[in-house]
Amino acid sequence: MATMQTATEIAARVREGKQPAGEAVRACLERIEQLDGELGAFLWVDREGAQRRADAVDQRVAKGETDLPLAGVPVAVKDNICVAGTPTTCGSRILEKFVAPYEAHVAERLRAAGAIVIGKTNLDEFAMGSSTENSALGVTRNPWNRGHVPGGSSGGSAVAVAAGMVPVALGSDTGGSVRQPASFCGVVGLKPTYGRVSRYGLVAFGSSLDQIGPLARTAEDAALVLGAIAGADARDTTCLEAPVPAYADELAAPLAGTRVGIAREYFGEGLSDETRAAVDAAIGILRANGADVVDVHLPHMTYGVACYYLIAPAEASSNLARYDGVHYGHRAAANDIIDMYSASREEGFGAEVKRRIMLGTYALSSGYYDAYYARAMKVRTLLRRDFEHAFKQCDVICSPVTPTTAFAFGEKADDPLAMYLADVYTISANLAGIPAVSVPCGFDGRGLPVGLQIMGKPLAEGKVLSVAHHYQSLTDHHKKVPS
């Protein structure tokens, strides 16, 4: 089946003229037609435009262009990333009719690399959530069990890749929003180092945490996409100048001698037995193939969730102040301007977005700033130092991605704190700014995927992807396809 081709295979064949760019696009569109009515991964699919742009890629190949790392590769993009001229809703009523007037840096890069954006995927509203249940615009189902959530907030992108509707997708990760749905859906998801990928054109949520990353079925494909989207961009001043390495070459670095750190803080209370067993087995495979396993200690990790749920909502409450019904987005009928702001926001935002705006406004309000936001930013420093110290003893740190596999719809919807606490293993990488990848490492007794998280030093994307790539070459979990 053409849609089960990897991005690496598609790009090579299209560049060599062995397959027209439209072939993979057509296969993906057919698979979307067949499956997405039930799975709900996409909010919008660009049927005609995708075919047209595939023809344009063939013309570039015919003209002798060779720098097309993603030639003819269909890509799904999370609907909080602007693709010019297409809807960008953030899964929110307030942006339901918004059409992006400009192109995100990553969308420009995808286009330049020969990729074809074929649609926009569902997400928790403004990327706030861990199940995609917070989307105001549709339900997304886990392809391994349709009664379970796909994870979130990049749930649509994870489902699109897992079900073979696209080979690769983009998501955004503020506290785990690429890695957690990747884990729940059995695909690879990478959160790069903070600043590795420009956030220009990504709708802002928690600006000191947000990072765009790829989802794919293989670490090799994730590396291919990362290579195309990473690098400096003057329009995002937090974006790093560091040169982008040839990730494909770094994948081949030997696993033998790699020091794999294990921190007991990731294996404590709340971790399900089945997830622990799958992750332990995965670490066993790395060890059996030459990795040295060492114990490391991250004493402040236990404060990660508390830090995150002050910092992210504080930044969100500030970022979302722009939705006021004046320049774009939903506007409520009102008699005066203050009432228009308040009524537009009340009607336009869903419960979780309001909850975080309230929490963030509280944490930043007069009298509480030092006690909450400022203190959280300092504890964040201590957590970052924990990682710096740990990475003197190891090259990567391995852990579970989530305490449990995908939960059922509604299971946590009425208990926001329980939902937040489930982010415990992913949040630290965002707070510390380090790269982390989720790679499929097995299934629980109900057939739901389990993920292994591999974290690295700042800018060590090549290393974490290399360990993931070696792991995938030694195992078959990523080759299973949901029925």
Mind telling me the catalytic residues? 78, 153, 177
Q: Select 109 or 300, whichever has its Cβ closest to another protein.
A: 300
- For residues 428 and 415, the answer to whether their CB atoms sit within 8 Å is no
Q: Select 146 or 331, whichever has its Cβ closest to another protein.
A: 331
Q: Select 463 or 470, whichever has its Cβ closest to another protein.
A: 463
CA distances from 363 to 103, 304, 309, 315 (A): 33, 16, 10, 10
Crossing angle of the two packed helices 21-39 and 7-15, in degrees rounded to 10 = 150
CA distance 122 to 316: 19
Q: How many CB atoms lie within 10 A of CB 44?
A: 17
Instruction: List CB contacts of 195: < 8 A, sequence separation 6 or more.
Output: 211, 238, 239, 240, 433
Instruction: Kindly state the tokens that stand for 342.
Output: 């308040």
Ramachandran category for residue 52: left, alpha or beta (phi over 0 → left; psi -120 to 50 → alpha):
alpha
**What number of residues does the chain have?**
483
Q: Select 99 or 281, whichever has its Cβ closest to another protein.
A: 99
What's the min distance (Å) between Cβ of 91 and another protein?
A: 17
Distance of CA 352 to the CA centre of its chain: 19
Instruction: Kindly state the tokens that stand for 305.
Output: 């969730």
Q: Select 121 or 430, whichever has its Cβ closest to another protein.
A: 430
The string of DSSP codes covering 12-56 is HHHHTTSS-HHHHHHHHHHHHHHHHHHH--EEEE-HHHHHHHHHH
